Amino acid sequence: MACGSINSAALLLRSANEQHPHGLANRSDQLGRHFMKHLSTSMVALSIEPNPAVHQKMIAINDFYWGEDDFPYPMGMVQNTGNVKGGMIPAEAPDLLAPYVKFTPETVLDVLADHATGWWLQTEDLPKADNRVRLVNGKICLDYTPNNVEARDRLVHRWTTILKNMDDSTQQVLPFGLYPRSIQPLAAVGHQCGTSRFGTDPETAVLDLNCRAHDLDNLYLVDGGFFPSNTGVNPTLTIVANAIRVADHLKQWLNVQAAALAVA
């Protein structure tokens, strides 16, 4: 299975039967729990000087990933967003500014966008059992309360300070409701992980270390659900690498079975 950590958990929960009354692979009651999605913030730096860059999403900075002198905990990573476009601003403006931006001439918005640089800040969220996927009347219900917000707020403050000190022409650095939005909403789950964490103890983990369900010999999950905790970086390459690892494991297992049958 590789439906994504939310839908894989939901599918297994929907598959409850007499042998598995709480859902397939859910003897531990850990299925659907420990959902994570990152704490993500976007901001726009507005400068007097125009930004001529065509491909802006080319910088990633991990200098503050492991914290700073008075905060020895991971704060996260900083990278560029894609280019800010004038047409994005009315649709994504914060509620406070929306009435004004709506009637702003398009040419003005384009000028504003030409003087903007977008930044994306990403902080890990922590695995919490109550952040989970549930089924309510057959529909997916996602419970999620942000945690680790101090680390996120420190990263936002640090990067804002750096941008202001780095460029004398930068007049304002402000959270702004461009896509991606200033604080990523619950509906944005592109970095979903957790919900079927792996581990050696079947009482605390859904999967074993080869991503096979502890409760079922023929069920493997190879999406982001296996994450026991999150990082501050995009999860896709880790998901891909793990899927390749599991595929290699299955290939070796099949070879062993084939050899045993040949001997028999």
234 in a structural domain: yes
- Tens-digit pLDDT string for the chain (264 aa): 999 999 999 999 999 999 999 999 999 999 999 999 999 988 877 777 777 777 777 888 999 999 999 999 999 999 988 776 665 555 445 444 444 445 455 566 667 777 777 888 999 999 999 999 999 998 999 999 999 999 999 998 898 888 877 766 555 555 543 333 467 677 779 999 999 999 999 999 999 999 999 999 999 999 999 999 999 999 999 999 999 999 999 999 999 999 999 887
Report the candidate in 34, 35, 32, 16 with the shortest Cα–Cα distance to residue 24: 16
183 in a structural domain: no
Give the pLDDT of residue 179. Answer: 30
Give the pLDDT of residue 107. Answer: 62
Give the pLDDT of residue 173. Answer: 55
Give the pLDDT of residue 117. Answer: 79
Give the pLDDT of residue 58. Answer: 82
Q: Which residues of 177-201 are buried (b: 16+ CB within 10 A; e: fewer)?
A: bbebbbbbeeeebebbbbbbbbbee
The 3-state secondary structure of 27-60, one letter per residue: CCCCCCCCCECCEEEEEEEEECCCCCCCCCCCCE
Asked if 168 and 50 sit in the same domain, the reply is yes
182 in a structural domain: no
Give the pLDDT of residue 166. Answer: 73
Given 3-state DSSP classes, what are the helix, strand and coil percentages for the chain, each rounded to the nearest 5? 30, 20, 50
Instruction: Tally the domains of the chain.
Output: 2
Asked if 200 and 157 sit in the same domain, the reply is no
User: What is the domain-level CATH number for residue 247?
Assistant: 3.50.50.60
Give the pLDDT of residue 162. Answer: 85
Asked if 170 and 53 sit in the same domain, the reply is yes
186 in a structural domain: no
Give the pLDDT of residue 77. Answer: 95
Report the candidate in 28, 34, 33 with the shortest Cα–Cα distance to residue 200: 28
Instruction: Please enumerate in sequence order all residues whose Cβ is within 8 A of that of 242, keeping only pairs 6 or more positions apart, or say none.
Output: 211, 222, 226
Give the pLDDT of residue 88. Answer: 56
For residue 52, say if its preceding peptide bond is cis, omega within 30 degrees of 0. no
Range of the domain at 256: 5-34+192-263
